[in-house]
Amino acid sequence: MFNLLVDAALWISGIFALIGAVGLLRFPDFYTRTHAATVVSMGGMTLALLALIVKTFWNIYSVKILLIIIINLLTSPTSAHIMARSAYDVGVKPKVIKDELKNRR
Amino acid sequence: MIEYMFALAGVLALGRIFLGPSFADRVIALGAFMNMIIVFIALYAVQTKISFYLDIAIVMVLLSFVGNLVIAKYAVRGNV
């Protein structure tokens, strides 16, 4: 039962990582590539580490992997937001028609 | 078999690192690549039953965040 669950979650996380990497290579713009990188971080890494928690159920491995998941969930949105804001301030333009942040200051 | 899928995803992220037009593309692709390395380390630590490799994974998560912060601040202000 749990072996089947762990294998299914690992395969799905591998498929998510491949989808995110293909999107990272094929999207036309920096801001859409940020979306693809978030797919890799959430669907790939967090799902694989949750599968490893279920596999080694309660010992030191599970505690350390849970710590990795908590740190990643805290820092990944902050990092994506900071990179998007700094790219806009430096001058990486998005390929869209409407630009909401043009008259910001 | 899962490792090969993550390795193929890492090769695609390395392609984006090589041909990214601006610095921000390279930093985002490097973050995704580091996530794949962390999954590698966790899988290897669970397979070989050595729990000290997971400490390396924790340090790599923290270093990824601090590296993104430092590069963003340097790109905006010009110094750190």
Give residue-wise pLDDT tens across range A80-94.
Answer: 899 988 888 888 777
Separation in Å, CA A70 to CA A64, A74, A102: 10, 6, 35
CA A33-A40-A73 angle, 5° bins: 110
Within 8 A of B16 by CB-CB distance, chain A residues are 24-25, 33
Whether the CB of A72 is below 8 Å from some CB of chain B: the reply is: yes
- Is residue A30 within 8 A of residue A6, CB to CB? The reply is no
Determine the pLDDT at residue A26.
87
Higher pLDDT, A95 or B50: B50
What SS3 state is found at A23?
Answer: helix
Q: How many domains does chain B have?
A: 1
User: pLDDT category, A47, cuts 50, 70, 90?
Assistant: very high
- Cα nearest neighbour of A39 on chain B: B32
Domain ranges, residue B10: 2-77
Lowest mean pLDDT among A27-31, B55-59, B67-71: A27-31
Reading the block at residue A13, the tokens are 């996380």
Strand segments, DSSP code E, in B1-80 are none
Is the confidence at residue B20, as pLDDT, over 80? no
Is the confidence at residue A38, as pLDDT, over 70? yes
Q: Which among A25, A61, A65 has the least Cβ separation from residue B15?
A: A25
pTM score of the predicted model: 0.87
CB contact under 8 A, B29 and A33: yes
CB contact under 8 A, A21 and B28: no
Shortest CA gap A93–chain B (Å) = 10
Determine the pLDDT at residue A105.
60
Whether the CB of A66 is below 8 Å from some CB of chain B: the reply is: no
Question: Rounded mean pLDDT of A53-58?
Answer: 87
A12-31 pLDDT, tens digit each: 999 999 999 999 888 888 88
Question: Rounded mean pLDDT of A56-75?
Answer: 90
What residues does each domain of chain A span? 2-90
User: pLDDT category, A67, cuts 50, 70, 90?
Assistant: very high
Question: Rounded mean pLDDT of B66-77?
Answer: 89
What is the per-residue DSSP string for A58-78?
A: TSHHHHHHHHHHHHHHHHHHH
Determine the pLDDT at residue A94.
76
